[in-house]
A = this chain, B = another copy of it.
Amino acid sequence: MYKAKVYVTLKESVLDPQGQAVKESLHSLDYHKVADVRIGKYMELQLNAGSVNEAESVVEEMCQKLLANPVIEKFRYDIEEATA
């Protein structure tokens, strides 16, 4: 059993209105030191894969096909062996 931690973020060139809204909310709460906020997704997957390499290639494929939108988003992931 492997655990994959997947981070999906908007590409630098893509506007992030959700992050902008959070930044403005933080400013209205008097956190004026916040210069920028970018919001992404974080996913944890449990995988019944035979090896780290197999888990990696499955996660890469799933990110390309479903978990991220490669047109506007980039992704990265870490795979670790899960004990339970």
User: Residue A47 contacts which of B33, B38, B46, B62 (CB distance < 8 angstroms)?
Assistant: B33
Distance (Å) between the CB of A13 and the closest chain B CB?
15
Give the residues in chain B near A8, CB-CB below 8 Å. 42
How many copies altogether? Answer: 2
**B41–A42 contact, CB under 8 A?**
yes
Decide if A17 is an interface residue (CB 8 Å cutoff): no
Interface size on A, residues (CB 8 A): 33
Give the residues in chain B near A42, CB-CB below 8 Å. 7-9, 39-42
Q: Kindly supply a per-residue 1/0 record for chain A positions 1-19, scoring 1 wherever the CB is within 8 Å of any chain B CB and 0 otherwise.
A: 1000001110000000001
In Å, the complex CA distance between A10 and B7 comes to 16
